[in-house]
Every structure is written in C-alpha cells, then in structure tokens.
Structure 1
Amino acid sequence: NRLLIQGGLITLDEQGRNIKLEAVINAREGSDEQAGFHLDGEGTVNGTPLTVMVRGGPFINIRRNRPYIFHGEIAGVGTRLIADGSITRPFDLGHFNATLKLRGRDLADIYLLTGVTTPNTPPYQLAGKLTRDGSKYTFADFSGRVGSSDLSGDLVVDRVDERLRVDADLRSRLLDIDDLMAVLGADPRVTPGGDTVASSGAPGRLLPDAPLNVERLRVMDGTLRYRAARVKRNDLDVREVDIGADLKSGILNLDPVAFAFNRGELRGTAKINATRDMPYSAIDFRLRNYPLESIIPARDGVATVTGRALGRARLEGPGASVHDFAAGSKGTISLVVPQGRMRAAFAELMGVHVLAGLFKLDDESTAEIRCAVADFTVSGGTATAKTFVVDTTPVLATGSGTIDLGAETINLRIDGETKEARLIRLWAPILVRGPLTSPKVDLDRGAVAAQVGVGGILAALVNPLAALAAFVDPGLAEDANCGALISSAR
C-alpha cells in the first residue's frame, strides 16, 4: 500500500518540433507540501527555454471511481499554459477534464508545443474548459482577449484518418481591425495603452509582407468560422466581419470573406494552394455600395464627391505573403460609380477651366456624375488602365496609366474635355502619382507652360487679343455611353 519514487528521470527528444526535455519525478505519501506526485522538467523548444511542472495528490489516496486531481504548467516559446483538472479514471490519461488558461505573445507559437497550427496574432490571454476523450480534445466555451479584441468560442482537435483535424467556431463582440490585420500577416505592436497597432511590416507599405508557413498548413485539416458583431472605429469604417475557412490536404478555401461597412460591404472568396513550395492563390472580391465620401476626403468640411461605388477584384498568382501575391498577380480590377455628385469646382478642374476650376475651389455647388468607370488589367503585379472615364455634366474626363501593386505606387494621367464652350481654359492633364498611401495630385505643368508660351508668341507677333486664342475651347466633348461602360467593367 505504498509507492515511493525518488529521482525518477524522463528524457524526451521530439525531433519533429525540436523539443528536448529532461524531467525529474518524485512521489511519496504524507500530508506535507512535498507529499504527492511531483514532476519538474527543463529543456528547450526550437532552441528556446522550456519548463514543465506537474503536481498531483499522494498515490495512496487513489480510488478507481474517484477522479485524480492535478495541476500542470508549461512555459516555452513565449507561451504559458496552466491547467487545473482531474483524470477521470486514474490512470487512464486518455480521459481528463481541466480548466485551461493560456497566454502568450503570439498564438502561432503554440504549434511548437501542441502541433496545432494557428494564425499569427498579437499577445493573447484565453481561458476555458479542456477535455480529452481518446484522440479528441475539446477547448469549450473559452473566452479572453487577443490584442485589443475580445475572443470567445469552441475548438475541437481530433485525429481523422491519421490526420490532425481542427474545427473552430470563434466570435468577437468588439473587434479591433488592427488585430485582424495581424492575422493576415501585418506586424502587430502593442501600445503602452494596451491597444494593438498593426503595420504591413515594411515602412510605407500597405500590404502585409509576413510569409505564410505552408508546412504547417499541410499537416492538418479543419474548418473555421469567425464573426465579429461590432468593430472599433477605424479609417475604413468596417462595422462587422464574417470569415469562413476550410482546410484540406494543404488547400485553404476562404468563403466567405465579408466586411460590412456603415454603408456597403466587401464580400468574396479566396483559395490558397499550399501544396507547392510557393503558395498559389486566387481571390474574387466584390465591393457593393461603398460611399465615395469614405474614399475621397471632404474639403473644408464639405464632401468633394458623393455616390456609391461598386467594384470587383479577380486576381491569381504565386506569393508567400499578401504583398508578394499582389506583386506577382494577374487578373482584373474594376471600380464603377453608376451615379453621384461632385463639387462643381472639381468637376471643372478636370477640364482645367481656369476661372471655375482654379479660382473657385470654395464653390460648394455640385455637378452630376453621370458615371465613373476604372477598369484595369493586371499582369505581373502591374494594373494598366483599360478603361478610365469620369463623365460629369460639365466635363468628360478620360485617363490612362498604371498602378504598381508590388511597389504600391500609382501613375495616372487624366485628360478632361469640357462639354460647353469656354473662353479661358488650359489643356493640361491632371497627374496622380506617388505611393498608394499618399498619392499627389497635380497639373502637368509642362503642358501649361507650353500653352502659355504659345499665347505669348501670338501676343507678340499679332496683337494682345490673339493671345486668347491659345485658351479658347469650343467644347466638343459628348456624354459617355455609361450603360456600355458599366456593363463591360462588371
């Protein structure tokens, strides 16, 4: 009726995840704090420190029909797991119940401890009920925080046909959009106030450049559903999020990927083939009824343009990160505004009518946008304008140029033609150039200088009134065929 263990030693060398551990076991009867079962281990996980501690009651108290109480802690790779539970039928380790608390710097790190692939995240802290029933583990009704967002849900891990399978149903009452960006590969940083700030990972870049770990996607299958009921105030005005995922044999299908805005939504699907050394992805996203006021900022508190935008992006290509995928992608990108309104001064400025466009920018009257269509063909990560038309009541503007998705820069030229005769007008294209995060809008000053030079020559050789001939515009532009343009872009 006694079991005594002194200086028992367990050595573990798990080469798949590079875990090395040496643990000492002691067990004896008694009522002091040294009595009972003690396991204390130290080692490394992927070269970083690992500690393991397990405590249980004296073996003399064990009964077949009474659970055996234990406390366990594991700390390594920036992660700490604490479990308080019981083995349902001593010592059948295939069945137990426990309250599990886990916290760490990045949920992706738990792969090295558990073999379960999870996405990169900001620092997290979660707690719930963990049960084991043979090969099936259930982390039920857990809750906590990931970055600045709350997270709750249920997670089931099992082995099906000798493959690891993970099924998760996750929810947030209030999501910080920067935490979601970290999951997509952005670089998370926690501010002193506890909020998460996510950047692309490279200064000045818009698209995340963290690489996808394809090896981890190949070792498991599973499903995910994530819904955020509300989203903290953000620049994009996202209000709700709904994401579904299905992973099987190294192919990840995301359906849906949906973002609801205050007005409008972005919804689509994505497929990532991780069976290759270099992942190959395809996306199809549609933008519906997104307000132009959220794209183009107001001027002096008054909206520059109003209306609803429709859009679609269909892209495919190789790339280990979101940025690399965009930089090597092919496909199409379209943006359509079926109707709206624009401040009259800005509409005139597209035709560079000097008096109305340049000198009356404080004019708050509006002009109708009959239609606006931007249709790009993408090849090698460069989007080239196939159709670029902005048709307003006073001006028809057409554009050309490119958007480099790899360098994240824009280089567009917009030429405007007035629909009414103007006495004073400059034939000068508008140039939109620079990084996508902060493009610059300016006139082609070379074209302006050339026209002013013509006027000066005429004035000198003929008479002062003849100089006006350089700026007389008869107004030859006609309305665009909006129906045909919109139909082709969709």
Structure 2
Amino acid sequence: MDVARDTPTAAPVSRPRRHIVRNTLIGVLGTIFAIWLVLFITKGRFLKPVFERFVAGQTDRKVAVAGDFQLYFAPLRIKLLAERITVANPAWATRPELFRADLIDTRIAPLSLIFGKRRLYGLDLRGAALDLEWTPSHSTNTWTFSGKKGGEPFALPRIDRATVVGSTARYIDPQLQVLADLKIDTIRSTDARIGDTVGVQGTGIVRRTPFTVTARLLSPNETVARGQNKLVAQMRAANNVIDIAGTLPSLADIENVPLRTRARGRDMSELLGIIGVVIPQTRRYDVAARLVKSGDRYRFTNMAGRFGQSDVAGRLTITNAARIHLDSVLTTRRLDIVDAAPFIGYNPDIVAARGTVAAAAATGAAPQRLMPDAEFPVATMQRFDADLKWTIAAVRSRNVPVSNIDMTLDLERGRLALSPLTFSMARGNVASDLVFDTRPRPSAVSYDIRLSPTPLGRLLAGYGLIESGTTGTIKGRAQLAGRGDSIHRSLATSRGRIAFTMPGGTLWTRNVQLAELDLGTFVQKMFEEKLKKPVQVNCGLIAFTVRDGVAAADPILIDTSKNVIAGRGGFSFKTEAVDLAFRADGKKFSLFSGQSPVGIGGYFASPRLDVISPQLLSRAGAGLGLALLATPPAAVLAFVDVGNAKSAACGPILAAATARAQRTTKGEPRDDVGRGTISKTDGDKPQAKRKKFLGIF
C-alpha cells in the first residue's frame, strides 16, 4: 500500500529534469551556433593574436601573420587562411625565419585535431620558403620544436588535395660544411595522391666547392602519410658525378640509413679534395658503395669499381670530427703500371700519352729529367689523418714482374709512413719502409728498400733475357735520407748507401736489351766473347756511397772464373747524370781482351753505352801504327792482356763492404777499386790524382 500510494509522485519529479537537459542542450547548441555564426560572419579575423600565441606556445617559436587571417568553420570544416605568415628560427640559426609563405589556405578536419593523425582536406600553399639548419655540434636543428632538449620534429599531416607552388628550401650543415639552396617543383595532388615523383633542383657549396643537385622524391604519397621517403639524388661537383638513392625516415635525416652511392669522374683526387683529403691523382674512375652515416662517421662498404685500367674494392670510413680521419681496407686484383704513376708524382694521363719524361717535365722538372718535381701537399697533409691497408695481387707491366703488393699507410699530423710496403718481384721479395715527415721544414724523407735474393734470369726476362743458363741471384738494400718537399729534392740532398750483391752463379745475356742499353753488347765488351755459354760468376758487388745526392761507386767489383770486373764513377740524383766506367782484367794471358773501360753515360731518362771508348780507339790506333812499322803480328800487341788480375775475396763482397775493406783471395788490400775511380792506374800510365766524376768527387 505504501508503494502504491508513492507511485503517482514519480512523474512530476522527472519532468523538470528533462527540461533542464533540454534547455542545456539548446543553450550549448545555441552557443556553438552563435560562435559559428560570429566566426562565419567575421571570418575569425579577430582570432589572429590568439592563433599566433597558441602556435607559438606549441612550437616554442614566434609566429606572426602580416596579412589577412581567417579561421572559421566553413561549414563543418575549419578553414585557415594566412597571408605572409612566418615562423621564427631558434636564436642560433643564421636566418630569422624557419618558415614563411605568401599564402596558406587550408581546410582542416576538426576531430583530427583531437583524435589521431592530423588531416587536411585541402591545402593551397604559395611562395613558401623553408630554412633547415643544423647546429655545429649536430645536436639539434631548426625543424625540431619545443624548448626542451631534443624536442620533436615537425610531422606532416595527411593531405587529401594540395597545390604547392613556388616553394624553396635552404639546407645548412656546418659539420659537413654544406649549404644548399633548393627549388621544389609544383606539387598537385588529389585524393591524397600526389603522383609518381616530386622534383627538386638546386645549387650549393660543399667545403668551398660549388655543386648542383637534382633530386626526385619517388614516394611522395608515402612521405605525406609519414611513411617511406624514397629519394634519388644526383650531385655534380668538381668534375665528379655522385648518385645517391635510398629510403629515408624523413626528408632531412640520413642517420643510420643505408644508401646506395655511386661516384664517377675524371680524377678521384678531385672528389676527395672536396672534403680536404689528398690522394694521388687517378685516371677516370667509377666506384659504387653502400653508405651508412652514424654520428660523425660515414661508412662506405661493399665498395667496388675501377680507376683507369685497374680495379678496386673494399671499405672506407670517413670520420668528420675536429680532424678528418680516413680508415680504409682496399684490394686490387690487377693494377696497371700507368695507374701507379701518380704514387711517385706523375700525371697518369701524360704518362699514358707521352711517357714519363713528359710527365716529369709537367711537374716542373728540367728537360730530360725522369724524377718528378711535384711538391708534397704539405698544408693539406697536416689537416687530416689516414690509415690504409691495400693489397694488390698483380701489376700489369711490360718489363718488371711485380705482384703481391701489401701496403700499410699511416698519416698522422703531417707524417706519412709507408711501412711496411712489400711486394714480390721476379720470385724475390722487396720490403721497404718509406717516411715522408712534413712537420720539419723542409720535409725529412727516408728510404729503406730491401731486395731479398732474386733470380737474375727472372728479373731480366722482361728485357729479352733467355732465362735458361742464368742461375745467378741478386740481393740488395738502399738506405737514404734527405730533406725536401718532393721526391727529387729529397733524393738530391740525400745521404746513405746503395748496395747489391751477387753470390755465385751463372749469367747468360744472349739477345738482351735493357732500355736503350744493349746489355748483351755491354757484357760482350767486358768479356770479349760471343757468350755462347754462360759466364761463371764467383761473387759480385755493385755499391754506391751517397753524399748530398751524388752516388759514387764504393765499390763495383765482380769476380768471375776468367775476369775481375771493376767500376768507377757514379750518378747524381741532382742532375740525373750518369758517369760510369767498367773494366775487365783477365786472370790468364789472352789476346784481344779489350781492357779499356766500357762506359755508361747520359742521364736516367736517356742512358748511353760507350761500347767503343776513346781509350779503346787509341789502342786501335797504336795497333794500326805498329802494323805499318813492323810485321803484322806486332799489331796484336796493343790488345794483349798479360793476365795479372787478382781474384777477389768473396767475403767482403757478399758483406757489401766498402772499397777500403775489399781484399784479394790472398788477403791483400785491393788497389783496383775505390770511390770514384776504377784503379790507381789507367792503362800503363800512373794517375797522379783520383779523377773526379760529375764534377763533384
């Protein structure tokens, strides 16, 4: 009963509540409509200060609209129009504005501002300019918003329809020393689809080198949707063409992203010269690699390509820190000898077309000089460091069979060391340590080159030697130190010793031609035989003492089964002149031995063999005179060798001892060798004074 009695009172209580809800809803809708109406009528122009303050608070950047401003619902989409809008850059940037545009006219999906990804139904952007800059430390950039450390980069919204006309972008990276000014092609899209590509063209400067760039965004729709950014770009700088392709997480970020790269041009040294790195000049090159940037390191892996007629593969890491550092491991299957010319200062193109003499002259060397006078790039060598490990399987050469080159290079603050530098030559091995220290002035240069025992037949086979019958070997060492900023100058001031020893063996020189010297004729003049059988060599030494760039024979002494060959004279690294004389004295009595010296003169580039020396001509004249005055047999007396040559002790010879230490087999000091002279006598006339050669010794 109580329940039934209370029931009629429930209805009157609910009616006021329904009135309140209805009135509230009407009031809210009326307010919204009123706001919409006010905004629609006024176009929301009065909200410009509010908009500027709101966006500035969200981005921590000053925002200003200098022209017309509209912000209203039209009818259910938010319309935003702003003329001459600017967004400020951080204070450290080189330009005051990150972004400016003559016009932004867009329609925004209202709920996308609250839920999910922002969406624009339409965008009309005209005369936009974007400034993208990194700090020198590469810790932040202009497009990262918020005052907090790191912040968040700007994210593009989804855009259903867009027209972008007259846009430009400027990019600066102080760490890479890159400045680029880019123009973006007109972009038109419908249904959130832009098309196949968006093109970009521009110019710029990288480390004071101008360049041009052309790029294409291959996935503009994915880019707009915050997806993949497939980019293909080509840059031209300093006669080089560089292609880059890859998928970027954002348009201005290549961090830890694998990129396909390819570089080609007339000279790889011009390419690396852009970043301040010096390498020897190359012929035309074409090299591809995979690039990954990680912090200040740029790693090029899977590298493969060619330079000139040679191949190259390996990896390279460039560290762009306070000092640029290169770390590389390279391999070459076959190196053309012409492509190796730049390593000693020659222009390989000139070598290939006109020869080494012309290439040396192009470096400033005097006429007919062989050694280049190209100066070391001292200033540049002191600005970067490098480590290189390079192995070369074989060298393509007409004469010298070189293979298995293993080079370790270390450049640190101007001191370049090639140590060790080893290679195989004619079944022998050469080990060397070369140091070019540009820190003292002029540069301090040292050469230490060691030749292990090498078969002579194999070594000279490239010059026409018939190996059969030649069993002799040769080993040697050259230790020189000089001062100068080029190879020529360092050798022209050098001091040290050069020595090559020959243990016992045989030598057969039929049909040999060594450069322009007929070696076969030379040896025939030494032995006065037709060389129908090999010559038995007991031991031999060809050594020079070098002072102030001039090498004097100390000694030249070869002991054979029938003769003792001695030499005098020397050569000059200063002028590259050669002045050597060789004489063979028989151990037994013989006729027609031709004791007079056989000379080698001329220069490194054009040596000359004096197979008929003035002394031999005078002997021939004496013989002719005797033939006229006496019986015909008397004519041969001028060519008689009494056979008094003393056999050499091989111990000092094989130890590469100096002339003063040489002995006969009886232990007596030799009187037929010495620095700068062949003997104490010349023919039958005693010498009052040792003859100088090259005007020095």
Q: TM-score range by the shorter chain?
A: 0.7 to 0.9
- Give the 5 Å matches for 1:372-391: 372-391=540-559
- Distance change >3 Å, CA 482–CA 11, structure 1 → 2: same
Which residue does 1:121 correspond to in 2? 282
C-alpha displacement at 1:384, in angstroms? 1.2
| In 2: Cα distance, 1:418 partner to 1:351 partner | 14
Structure 2 unaligned residues grouped into runs of 5+? 1-119, 129-165, 362-367, 511-518, 659-697
Which residue does 1:80 correspond to in 2? 241
Match of 2:417 among 237, 240, 253: 253
The question of 1:171 aligning with 2:339 is answered no
- Give the 5 Å matches for 1:26-425: 28=187, 30=189, 31=193, 36=198, 38-42=199-203, 50-56=211-217, 57-58=219-220, 61-62=223-224, 66-88=227-249, 91-159=252-320, 162-189=322-349, 199=356, 201-202=359-360, 205-276=369-440, 278-293=442-457, 294-295=459-460, 306-343=471-508, 357=528, 360-361=529-530, 363-425=531-593
Instruction: Judge conservation of contact 2:504–2:537 (CA < 8 Å) in 1.
Output: yes
| In 2: Cα distance, 1:447 partner to 1:388 partner | 20
| In 2: Cα distance, 1:123 partner to 1:416 partner | 51
Opposite residue 402 of structure 1, the aligned amino acid is: G
Instruction: Judge conservation of contact 1:251–1:274 (CA < 8 Å) in 2.
Output: yes
Instruction: Judge conservation of contact 1:3–1:29 (CA < 8 Å) in 2.
Output: no
| In 1: Cα distance, 2:292 partner to 2:509 partner | 66
| In 2: Cα distance, 1:73 partner to 1:107 partner | 17
Opposite residue 136 of structure 1, the aligned amino acid is: R
Secondary structure class of the residue paired with 1:275: coil
Secondary structure class of the residue paired with 1:216: helix
Secondary structure class of the residue paired with 2:375: coil
Relative to its length, the structure with more strand (as a share) is 1
| In 1: Cα distance, 2:263 partner to 2:207 partner | 20
Which residue does 1:478 correspond to in 2? 646
Secondary structure class of the residue paired with 1:178: coil
Secondary structure class of the residue paired with 1:114: coil
Opposite residue 292 of structure 2, the aligned amino acid is: T
Instruction: Judge conservation of contact 1:128–1:141 (CA < 8 Å) in 2.
Output: yes
Bigger Cα displacement from structure 2, 307-316 vs 453-462: 453-462
| In 2: Cα distance, 1:73 partner to 1:417 partner | 72
| In 1: Cα distance, 2:201 partner to 2:327 partner | 33
Opposite residue 298 of structure 2, the aligned amino acid is: Y
| In 2: Cα distance, 1:136 partner to 1:324 partner | 37
Greater relative CO, 1 or 2 (CA 8 Å, sep 6+): 1
Opposite residue 230 of structure 1, the aligned amino acid is: A
| In 1: Cα distance, 2:427 partner to 2:591 partner | 42
C-alpha displacement at 1:472, in angstroms? 2.9
Bigger Cα displacement from structure 2, 221-230 vs 51-60: 51-60
- Distance change >3 Å, CA 70–CA 350, structure 1 → 2: closer
| In 1: Cα distance, 2:201 partner to 2:392 partner | 41
CA offsets, 1:24-48, max 9 Å, x none?
3567563456964x54223678998
C-alpha displacement at 1:119, in angstroms? 2.9
CA offsets, 1:59-92, max 9 Å, x none?
883566x553222211021111000013345644
Bigger Cα displacement from structure 2, 229-238 vs 394-403: 229-238
C-alpha displacement at 1:212, in angstroms? 2.5
CA offsets, 1:285-328, max 9 Å, x none?
11122332334877795779552111111112233333333333
- Distance change >3 Å, CA 27–CA 272, structure 1 → 2: farther
Which residue does 1:427 correspond to in 2? 595
Secondary structure class of the residue paired with 1:256: strand
| In 2: Cα distance, 1:300 partner to 1:116 partner | 44
Secondary structure class of the residue paired with 1:166: strand
CA offsets, 1:449-487, max 9 Å, x none?
333444455566666555544333221112111111221
- Distance change >3 Å, CA 314–CA 62, structure 1 → 2: farther
- Distance change >3 Å, CA 67–CA 208, structure 1 → 2: farther
| In 2: Cα distance, 1:344 partner to 1:285 partner | 27
CA offsets, 1:257-310, max 9 Å, x none?
112124112211111112346433111011122332334877795779552111
Opposite residue 573 of structure 2, the aligned amino acid is: L
| In 1: Cα distance, 2:124 partner to 2:244 partner | 25
C-alpha displacement at 1:375, in angstroms? 1.0
CA offsets, 1:429-452, max 9 Å, x none?
111112334523224532123334
| In 1: Cα distance, 2:509 partner to 2:538 partner | 13
Instruction: Judge conservation of contact 1:327–1:406 (CA < 8 Å) in 2.
Output: yes
- Distance change >3 Å, CA 142–CA 381, structure 1 → 2: same
Relative to its length, the structure with more helix (as a share) is 2
Instruction: Judge conservation of contact 2:207–2:275 (CA < 8 Å) in 1.
Output: no
C-alpha displacement at 1:383, in angstroms? 1.3
Instruction: Judge conservation of contact 1:28–1:35 (CA < 8 Å) in 2.
Output: no
| In 1: Cα distance, 2:589 partner to 2:270 partner | 67
Secondary structure class of the residue paired with 1:119: coil
- Distance change >3 Å, CA 107–CA 42, structure 1 → 2: same
- Distance change >3 Å, CA 54–CA 264, structure 1 → 2: same
| In 2: Cα distance, 1:465 partner to 1:400 partner | 33
Which residue does 2:45 correspond to in 1? none
- Distance change >3 Å, CA 448–CA 84, structure 1 → 2: same
C-alpha displacement at 1:55, in angstroms? 3.0
| In 2: Cα distance, 1:92 partner to 1:49 partner | 22
| In 2: Cα distance, 1:172 partner to 1:349 partner | 39
Identity between Structure 1 and Structure 2 (%): 27
| In 1: Cα distance, 2:657 partner to 2:507 partner | 22
Instruction: Judge conservation of contact 1:350–1:414 (CA < 8 Å) in 2.
Output: no
Secondary structure class of the residue paired with 2:421: strand
TM-score, normalised to structure 1, is 0.85
TM-score, normalised to structure 2, is 0.61
- Distance change >3 Å, CA 378–CA 450, structure 1 → 2: same
